[in-house]
């Protein structure tokens, strides 16, 4: 069964110039990239993404981290990978949430750290299960940005000014 999974290369990964390394590691999975873009993360988007952690003592720092405020890199790279067992394969490569506990050869084990204030700078986000993956992919991407028809869509009338190339 093919699965889709949301991957984020977080601001520390971008600042440390790890994009190429991370994409190379992920290519070991033989999964297909079906969407990719750079995103400037609003507070609203960050809070919605991590809403399951609201109330945790580290929540505010986590939001600042995802928004790039700790790294002077106000962007993340968002991708959707697709293929058999995509979530398990990507989470294995990413390693444990706590970079100190992650296997040393995993992405988080290789490149992550815990700051003195306790933020897990773990370089990469990977959806945790199929339900979360669907919620997160719909949060980060519009249907036309994904080259596979993953989820059902509907048409809506929208009269909005679009920016086009001058």
Active site residues: 125
User: Cα separation of 59 and 43, whole Å?
Assistant: 12
Q: Is residue 128 involved in binding Mg ion (CB under 5 A)?
A: yes
Q: Is residue 58 involved in binding ligand DAT (CB under 6 A)?
A: yes
Q: Identify which of residues 20 and 118 has a Cβ nearer to ligand DAT in the complex.
A: 118
Q: Identify which of residues 19 and 166 has a Cβ nearer to ligand DAT in the complex.
A: 19
Applying CB under 5 A, the span of 62-70, 110-118, 122-130, 145-153 interacting with Mg ion comes to 122-130
Tokens encoding 159: 């009269």
Applying CB under 5 A, the span of 27-35, 107-115, 124-132, 150-158 interacting with Mg ion comes to 124-132
* Length of the chain in terms of residues written: 166
Applying CB under 6 A, the span of 15-23, 67-75, 116-124, 134-142 interacting with ligand DAT comes to 116-124
Separation in Å, CA 88 to CA 11, 13, 31, 55, 135: 23, 21, 12, 28, 17
User: Cα separation of 104 and 70, whole Å?
Assistant: 24
Q: Identify which of residues 83 and 112 has a Cβ nearer to ligand DAT in the complex.
A: 112
Phi and psi, residue 81, nearest 5°: -100, 150
The stretches of the chain forming alpha helices (DSSP H) are 11-15, 19-27, 43-49, 59-67, 86-94, 107-111, 130-140
CB of 128 to Mg ion, least distance (A): 4
Give residue 57's Cα distance to chain centre: 22
Q: Identify which of residues 129 and 153 has a Cβ nearer to Mg ion in the complex.
A: 129
Q: Is residue 60 involved in binding ligand DAT (CB under 6 A)?
A: no
For 124, the enclosing helix (H) or strand (E) is strand 124-126
Binding residue for ligand DAT (CB under 6 A) from 4, 7, 9, 62?
62
Binding interface with Mg ion (CB under 5 A) = 128
Binding interface with ligand DAT (CB under 6 A) = 53, 58, 62, 97, 118-120, 122, 125, 128
């Amino acid at each position: 069964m093919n699965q889709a999974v949301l991957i984020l290369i977080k601001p520390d990964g971008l600042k440390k110039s790890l994009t190429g390394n991370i994409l190379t590691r992920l290519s070991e999975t033989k999964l297909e990239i079906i969407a990719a873009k750079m995103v400037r993360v609003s507070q609203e988007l960050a809070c919605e993404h991590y809403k399951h952690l609201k109330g945790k003592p580290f929540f505010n720092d986590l939001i600042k981290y995802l928004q790039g405020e700790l790294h002077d890199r106000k962007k993340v790279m968002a991708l959707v990978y697709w293929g058999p067992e995509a979530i398990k394969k990507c989470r294995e490569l990413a390693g444990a949430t706590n970079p100190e506990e992650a296997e040393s050869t995993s992405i988080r084990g290789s490149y992550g750290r815990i700051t003195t204030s306790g933020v897990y700078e773990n370089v990469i986000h990977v959806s945790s299960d199929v339900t979360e993956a669907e919620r997160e992919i719909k949060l980060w991407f519009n249907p036309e940005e994904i080259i596979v028809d993953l989820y059902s869509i509907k048409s809506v009338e929208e009269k909005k000014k679009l920016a086009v190339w001058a």
